[in-house]
Amino acid sequence: MKFALLNIILALIAAPLLSGIINRVKAMFAGRKGQPLFQLYYDLHKLLKKSAVFSPATTFFFWAGPLTGFAVLAGALLIVPQAQGKAFIQFPGDIILFIYLFGLMRFFTVVSAMDTGSSFEGMGASREIQFAVFAEPALFLGLVTLARKTANLSLSGIYSSFSWHDSTVLILVSAAFFIIFLAENSRLPVDDPNTHLELTMIHEVMVLDHSGPDLAVIFYSASLKLWILGSLVIGAIMPIYTGKIIFDELIFLSGMAVLSIVVGIVESCMARLKLLKVPQFLIVGFALAIIALILQIM
Amino acid sequence: MVINILITFLLITNIGVVASGRLTYCIRVVAVQGIVIGILPCLIYGKLALLPIVIAAFTIAVKGIIFPLLLGWSLKTAQVEREVEPLVSYPFSIIISVLIFALSFWLSFHLSLPESFCVSLLVPVAFSTIMTGLFVIVSRVKALTQVLGYLVMENGIYAFGAALLREQPLLVELGVLLDMFVAVFVMGIAIFHISREFDHIDTHILDNLSDRIPADIRTTEET
């Protein structure tokens, strides 16, 4: 219990560091010096000191969007298993809660984007929903496969009872999770969070009108999402638990660091996909999850 | 355990071949598949011996290095456009490859195979590789992708044969490899010559190669 609490505090503190690592790796690949590792912390600090500007056209939903997103992710952080495969809260069926929490967050982000009345943000919202149609079933099928494999219905139960005995399903599911991880966090083959190009932007376009503390909350939520989905991937790829708290924590944290380095390498080596090709990329993740399920059931 | 990981990679490369839209990427995926297939006999044989190592080295050299170089060369010299041009759309192809996998799994359960097929996962994955190769041959327009489909199909047959390695003599395996080497060599050169003669390697237009003059051309000549 105490250990799970430690995990949550660590996640809340260290989550913005991941994007710092990713940016560093990308800078090294491009031969630049790059931003400082803690750049996102400085940005958050700067944004929190400012005041937000609201357009008179907006309503309740506009400021509810970022706050709901953060609340939902804090809830997801309580049930997601981190080091040692244990979460703060666990009950049978929390995999469904986990997926629907992300659904709720997406709904509020989209609604707050549509609330501005800008056609530009509506475009981003429609893209976000279009890609979610492919990403969500893949995540769901992957989790169902793992639930079936371990005969457990809670995330903690699933993630603490892995072994490398039957590695095939684990490899397929973690490959599917990695694709979802890239798509959901608007990472490069799907979406580039650093550029502002109208033709292809998806996630950034939805938060263009947010400012000040709201924007800070959005950035912070994005890094928490990176952490939460990343811990799903890491838990599936390296189910190594020694039983000693310090070692497990170190293994988990180094896994997260390696994951963000891998993301940085992927982002440096790949170009962004054509918008029409993105569903194809996501369907590959879906196909991997289905194949894992077939393997598990047969 | 390591065998299972390799077989999973084989499965993932199958999806990669079907899902990739660029010929260079497609060739690279098939090369990776060839290397994975090449390592397989070493692991199935169990202990280190001369026979599986010779087979593995030969297979990796031919399927992982020579074929991709040859295909890349004919891609460059035949000045093919680098798009795959599928007859079936990519998302639908991926779904079909999943169906193929389910079918081959079902099939391998209903076959009564001898006991020597020690790795249970190898048989369905080999089947699905064979069928994926067939699907690539049927559903893609370019002649080069059909060579790739042929290679994938051969990889599947090879993987199926690898399960039988202990009973199968080395000579048969090497003979099959040599056959395929000649076939791909001929195909690579043929593609080059076809494209030089006819400006394209689109198999649809190759249908028109016949003595009979097509009706539309005849009418234009009369006018």
Mean pLDDT of A143-168: 85
Interface contact flag, A167 B21, Cβ < 8 Å: no
Q: What is the pLDDT of residue B95?
A: 92
Q: CB pairs below 8 Å between A and B: how many? A: 56
* Inter-chain touch A284–B94, beta carbons under 8 Å: yes
Over the stretch B124-155, which tens digit does the pLDDT of each residue have? 899 999 999 999 988 888 778 888 888 898 88
**A176 to chain B: closest CA residue:** B12
Q: Work out the pLDDT band at B116, boundaries 50, 70, 90.
A: low
Q: Do B94 and A283 touch (CB under 8 A)?
A: yes
Give percent above pLDDT 70 in chain A. 97
Contacts of B8 in chain A (CB under 8 A): 167-168, 171-172
Among the partner residues A165, A287, A295, nearest to B97 by beta-carbon distance:
A287
| Beta carbons of B139 and B85 less than 8 angstroms apart | no
- ipTM for the predicted complex comes to 0.83
For residue B88, pLDDT beyond 80: yes
The pLDDT value given to residue B219:
54
Average of per-residue pLDDT across A4-13: 89
Residues of B in contact with A283 (CB under 8 A): 19, 90-91, 94-95
Residue contact B94–A164, C-beta within 8 A: no
- Dihedral sign (CA A136, A139, A141, A143): negative
Q: How far apart are CA A200 and CA A30, in angstroms?
A: 22
Smallest Cα–Cα separation from A287: which of B130, B91, B33?
B91
Q: Are B145 and B84 in contact (CB under 8 A)?
A: yes
Split at pLDDT 50, 70, 90, the class of B199 is low
Q: Report which DSSP code applies to A165.
A: G
For residue B22, the cross-strand partners are B83
Residue A231 has pLDDT above 80, yes or no: yes
Quick check: B160 and B41 in contact, CB under 8 A? no
- Nearest CA to B108 out of B96, B99, B120, B98 is that of B120
Per-residue pLDDT tens digits for B165-196: 666 666 667 777 777 777 777 777 777 666 66
With beta carbons less than 8 A apart as the criterion, state whether A48 and A213 touch.
Answer: yes
Whether B1 and A291 lie within 8 Å, measured CB to CB: no
**Please, which pLDDT band fits residue A21 given cuts at 50, 70 and 90?**
very high
A15 Cα to chain B: minimum distance (Å): 31
**B97 chain-A contacts, CB cut-off 8 A:** 287
What pTM does this model have?
0.87
Q: Which residues pair with B140 in a beta bridge?
A: B86
Who contacts B95 (Cβ-Cβ below 8 Å, separation ≥6)?
A: A283, A287
d(C-alpha B24, C-alpha A52), whole Å: 49
**Of B3, B15, B106, which to mutate for an interface test with A (greatest number of A Cβ within 10 Å)?**
B15
Q: Which of A115-124, A260-269, B9-18 has the lowest mean pLDDT?
A: A115-124
pLDDT at position A42, please? 94
- Numbered residues of chain B with Cβ closer than 8 Å to any chain A Cβ: 1, 4-5, 7-9, 11-12, 15, 19, 21, 90-91, 94-95, 97-98, 101-102, 105-106, 109, 121
Asked if residues B160 and B126 have their Cβ atoms less than 8 Å apart, the reply is yes
* pLDDT on residue B198: 62
Question: Is residue B202 pLDDT above 60, yes or no?
Answer: yes
Contact A80, A7 (CB under 8 A): no
DSSP A110-143: HHHHHHT--HHHHHHHHHHHHHHHHHHHHHHHHH
Would you state the pLDDT for residue A236? 87
Task: Give residue-wise pLDDT tens across range A25-46.
Answer: 999 999 998 889 999 999 999 9
pLDDT per position as a tens digit, B13-58: 999 999 887 888 899 999 999 999 888 888 877 777 787 788 788 8
For the beta carbon of residue B80, count every other beta carbon within 10 angstroms. 19
Residue A65 reports pLDDT greater than 70:
yes
Percent of chain A at pLDDT > 90 equals 49
Chain B residues inside the 8 Å CB shell of A291? 11, 15, 98, 101
pLDDT of residue B118: 59
Cross-chain residue pair A277–B21, CB shorter than 8 Å: yes
> Helix or strand or coil: residue B86?
strand
The pLDDT of residue A264 is above 80: yes
CB neighbourhood size of A2 (10 A): 7
